[in-house]
Amino acid sequence: MIVVDRASALIDEPVTIELRGSAAGQPVTLTASFEFADGSRWQSHATFISDESGRVDLTRQAPVSGTYEGVAAMGFIWSAERQPGEFHPFPEGIVMRPWLVELEARGPGGASSRLTLERRGASIGVTRERIRRDGIVGTLFLPPDPGPHPAVMCVSGGGGGIPEGRAAIFASHGYAALALGYFGVEGLPRGLVNIPLEYFGGAIRWMRAQPWLGDRMLAVSGPSRGGELALLLGATFPDINAVIAWVPSGVVFWPLGMPEPGDTRTPAAWTYRGQPLPYLQEGNSASDPEPAAERGRPVAYAPFYRSFLRDARAVERAIIPVEKTRGPILLISGTDDQMWPSSDLADIALRRLQAHRHPFPYRHLKYEGAGHLIFVPYTPTTVRDIGLPVEGFGGYLYHQGGNTKADAEAGIDAWRRTLNFLEDAVTQHERAQPSRPGSRGSGR
């Protein structure tokens, strides 16, 4: 018999599982199978030896064999391996529908038991609204209660698109969350090329004008190139009150993808007030040769990107003035990041904050052995190589570094600390506000 403490939970919430009814000291195998909306199928398995009472407790016992090692209550999720088959883009709004995990426990002699878990990307009562107005392209997620709420603007990384998954889980924890697209979406640029920071300024003003936010705390969060962007936005717009930068860069990197037809400007990733922002690779004379990329063969770009850091003048020219941020900053990285050296790049921001004696809290969470794919916890972390859905990059795979266990454990700890960071940022922001009716009202 499979016994759980809850059959339905948010994706970032662990589930306690016990396997009961076996004879003492017998092998019991737990298999987990699930399918995502893109058609990808995943499966994990772990064999345990039942204790003297004939039970297996996943929170206390390690498997003797399987897809993961050591004691890990949710190892059956994060160690799941993708099965052969084709998959396609996620349909819009799929985050509002739970995904199901089919569990099967099988003991000696063929005795078995089955149970289905429901994993929710958004808590019950969270609302989703497609935003296509005032020049904004994104999706808004609001908590169940009317607010006002502190808020998080979520931006994507180098793959572009609209990061609905992260926004939905923030909303599930009491934050109004805008998943904001800025390239790779219909109506927006096709590549990360000449993106005006004023676009984000417009989104910030729009959020501030909404009754669900007002003058409450507004944070920005993004991974990879989105982490670079989050640091840029915090340094540029005083209405940003906190920054969460996942596997980020403290210096601006080069453009990614193709410019828009008719755009004859010299390409840069970002522009501000009509001028391109200098980037690390621009005029850099210190780099190693670019690694040869072959279709279908993963390549690690971190050593190549790290070589650009030898040009101190280029670093100084492209550095992000993070000390201008009017609020706390959280940096998250993995020491085995092979997409780019996020620990080194985040340290650039950390050292600048230290040198300028940044008056707000700041911290760099550096996870040993983790790679580029540090996510909200309790999703599979078995994929090491990914492609970029950006024009000109089709068919190429980029090695992300890390390993299944290190990435999973980093995600668990980083997400817990992210929620604590936001709680503290809300408290600090509220204390700094003039006394007003309802300043401690509903919302987180």
CATH code of the domain in which 95 resides: 2.60.40.2240
> Are 70 and 169 part of one and the same domain?
no
Q: Dmax of the chain from CA atoms?
A: 74
Domain boundary among 88, 120, 152: 120
pLDDT at 168 over 70: yes
Q: Tell me whether residue 131 is in a domain.
A: no
Q: Are residues 88 and 173 in the same domain?
A: no
pLDDT of 343 over the 90 cut: yes
User: From residue 144, how far is each of 98, 125, 285, 325 by CA, in Å?
Assistant: 17, 5, 53, 30
Question: Is 298's pLDDT higher than 50?
Answer: yes
Angle at 314 between CA 313 and CA 315, to 5 degrees: 90
Band (437; pLDDT cuts 50, 70, 90): very low
Retrieve residue 138's tokens.
């994104």
What is residue 435's predicted lDDT score, i.e. its pLDDT?
62
Residues 114 and 234 in one domain: no
Q: Which two tokens stand for residue 411?
A: 């995600």
> Are residues 312 and 245 part of one domain?
yes
* Overall pTM > 0.85: yes
CATH assignment of the domain containing 383: 3.40.50.1820
Q: Are residues 330 and 415 in the same domain?
A: yes
**CB–CB of 123/12 below 8 Å?**
no
Considering only CA atoms, give the Rg of the chain: 23
Of 120, 153, 174, at which residue does a domain stop?
120
In a domain, 153, yes or no: yes
Angle between helices 342-355 and 225-236 (to 10 degrees): 20
Cα angle: 339, vertex 343, 348; to 5 degrees? 115
Per-residue pLDDT for 272 more than 50?
Answer: yes
Q: Is residue 441 part of a domain?
A: no
Task: Check whether residue 181 and residue 38 sit in a common domain.
Answer: no
Residue 226 has pLDDT above 90, yes or no: yes
What pLDDT sits at residue 389?
82
> Mean pLDDT over all residues of the chain?
95
Domain that residue 10 falls in: 2-120
Judgement on whether residues 19 and 144 belong to the same structural domain of the protein:
no
What's the full length of the chain, in residues?
444
Same domain, 76 and 147: no
